[in-house]
Amino acid sequence: MTEIRAVKGTRDLLPDEIGVWHRLETAAHDLFARYGYREIRTPVFEETQLFARGIGTETDVVSKEMYTFEDRDEQRTSLTLRPEATAGIVRAVIENNLTNTDPALKVYAMGPMFRRERPQKGRYRQFHQVDVEAFGMAAPSMDVEVIELALEFLKACGVTEFELVLNSVGDSACRPAYVEQLRAALRTHASELSADSLRRTETNPLRVLDSKAPEEQALIATLPRIGDHLCDPCREHFDEVRRQLDLLGIGYRLDHRLVRGLDYYVKTTFEVTSGALGAQNSLLGGGRYDGLVKALGGPDVPGIGFAVGMERLALAMPKAAAERRSDVFLAVLSPAALDDAIRLQRSLRQAGVAALMDHEGRSFKSKMKMADKLGVRFVAIRGEDEIRKGVWSLRDMTRSSQEDVVEARVLDHIKEKRNG
């Protein structure tokens, strides 16, 4: 029989590593609520055309990386596992008229995304994102609030080593003319371009700026820059974003090549990288997408948001000490103590104490080994002696002390001492 293994590019989140994910999720729930965001959960698959229209057919994500399949209905509807969260959220916002009832709508989401990329450390085919989206607010101060929230989230997760990278990609008033200039410049260097960049010169020249090919870097440095071609409103918006970032003491690096992988961005784009991550150093990315809701058939409301890669964030987070998996372990040393143990275990749990016991009649030595592995604070021992005295012998594992405690006092004793 061939061995069945996890699909390439997917990974199991095992119990030993889940603690850091819980901390990250809790930080998100707590922090985002303080900024007025509420959670939204949308399906992991949508009609393919949502992503084609929402992300752009010329992006790598849509053209090469989507998990697309036919449904079993008569029309053979084309469905796709979501490669990112924004398009699905925008669809839900439109479908449920959310911006009608809340003109300053703030939502966040968490969950798996699917892209058929070449797997490596920090890059998976099923990965997870925390996603934040704000609708209806066009002011530069909103860009700043969203960026500030992104950074506060990283800090709340204990990440201190990161860099904010910032750009403006213009809008429909100024970008098309810039893109034409970029295309013209690229065409004059056609012989120096890779096949990919040559194709993108025609289909989506901005993508060439994403090129990591070492032999193209010198040429890219000479290309026209979007920053020199912004229209007045985009320029003023960007200046105000930068002024307010300065006001809050938020440092950043400008990078004219930060055009981001998805087509829908306008004006502000940003990314946060971390040196702790290695080659896949992008922790989060985001930007403004003012035309997207309208393009997907909704009202003309602006939007801005960002997505954090949870795997990468988990990698960048400080490792916590191994977590205690139980407060107390009940060691039954006589068959006559079994009923007492079952009852005590239940009442401890009902009172909020994490309690475990050995159900398999192991030796005292192996019970103690189990207790050690679980990192419990107390082992409660009951054998013939203890039954006779009507007590549990409570061993405090951190102090290596042991004392007899009457059954009625066990709960209070543990509660009093467990945090000490």
- Which long-range contacts (C-beta less than 8 Å, at least 24 apart) are formed by 242-249? 242/166, 244/140, 244/141, 244/144, 245/144, 245/147, 245/166, 248/144, 248/148
CB of 264 to ligand AMP, least distance (A): 11
CB of 407 to ligand AMP, least distance (A): 52
Q: Decide if residue 303 touches ligand AMP (CB under 6 A).
A: no
CB of 374 to ligand AMP, least distance (A): 32
Which of 88, 140, 170, 261 contacts ligand AMP by CB under 6 A?
261
Q: Residue 386 burial by CB count (10 A; 0-12/13-18/19+): exposed, middle or buried?
A: buried
The closest residue (CB) to ligand AMP is 309
Q: Decide if residue 207 touches ligand AMP (CB under 6 A).
A: no
- Asked if residue 213 lies in contact with residue 194, where contact means CB atoms within 8 angstroms, the answer is yes
CB of 364 to ligand AMP, least distance (A): 47
Which of 123, 225, 349, 409 contacts ligand AMP by CB under 6 A?
123
| Spatial distance between the Cα atoms of 392 and 101, rounded to a whole number of angstroms | 60
CB of 79 to ligand AMP, least distance (A): 20
The nearer residue to ligand AMP, 62 or 379, going by C-beta atoms, is: 62
| Spatial distance between the Cα atoms of 320 and 340, rounded to a whole number of angstroms | 35
Residue 159, CA distances (Å) to 21, 22, 27, 134, 275 in order: 14, 15, 12, 24, 11
Residue 404, strand partner residues: 393
The nearer residue to ligand AMP, 283 or 394, going by C-beta atoms, is: 283
Secondary structure of residue 167 in the 3-state scheme: strand
**Close Cβ partners of 170 (under 8 Å, ≥ 6 residues apart):** 178, 226, 229, 230, 231, 234, 266, 267
Which of 82, 115, 175, 200 contacts ligand AMP by CB under 6 A?
115
| Spatial distance between the Cα atoms of 19 and 227, rounded to a whole number of angstroms | 43
Which of 51, 108, 124, 378 contacts ligand AMP by CB under 6 A?
124
Read off the tokens for 220.
Answer: 């890219």
| Spatial distance between the Cα atoms of 138 and 125, rounded to a whole number of angstroms | 34
Q: Decide if residue 340 touches ligand AMP (CB under 6 A).
A: no
The nearer residue to ligand AMP, 267 or 395, going by C-beta atoms, is: 267
| Spatial distance between the Cα atoms of 43 and 124, rounded to a whole number of angstroms | 20
Q: Decide if residue 305 touches ligand AMP (CB under 6 A).
A: no
Q: Decide if residue 304 touches ligand AMP (CB under 6 A).
A: no
Total residues interacting with ligand AMP, rule: CB under 6 A: 17
- Using N-to-C axis directions, what is the helix angle for 18-34 and 140-156, rounded to 10°? 150
The nearer residue to ligand AMP, 115 or 242, going by C-beta atoms, is: 115
- Asked if residue 187 lies in contact with residue 128, where contact means CB atoms within 8 angstroms, the answer is no
Q: Decide if residue 24 touches ligand AMP (CB under 6 A).
A: no
Q: Decide if residue 129 touches ligand AMP (CB under 6 A).
A: yes
Q: Decide if residue 206 touches ligand AMP (CB under 6 A).
A: no
Q: Decide if residue 358 touches ligand AMP (CB under 6 A).
A: no
Q: Which stretch binds ligand AMP (CB under 6 A): 171-179, 200-208, 281-289, 407-415?
A: 281-289
- Asked if residue 283 lies in contact with residue 276, where contact means CB atoms within 8 angstroms, the answer is no
Q: What residue ranges bind ligand AMP (CB under 6 A)?
A: 84, 115, 117, 122-124, 127, 129, 261, 282-285, 307, 309, 311-312
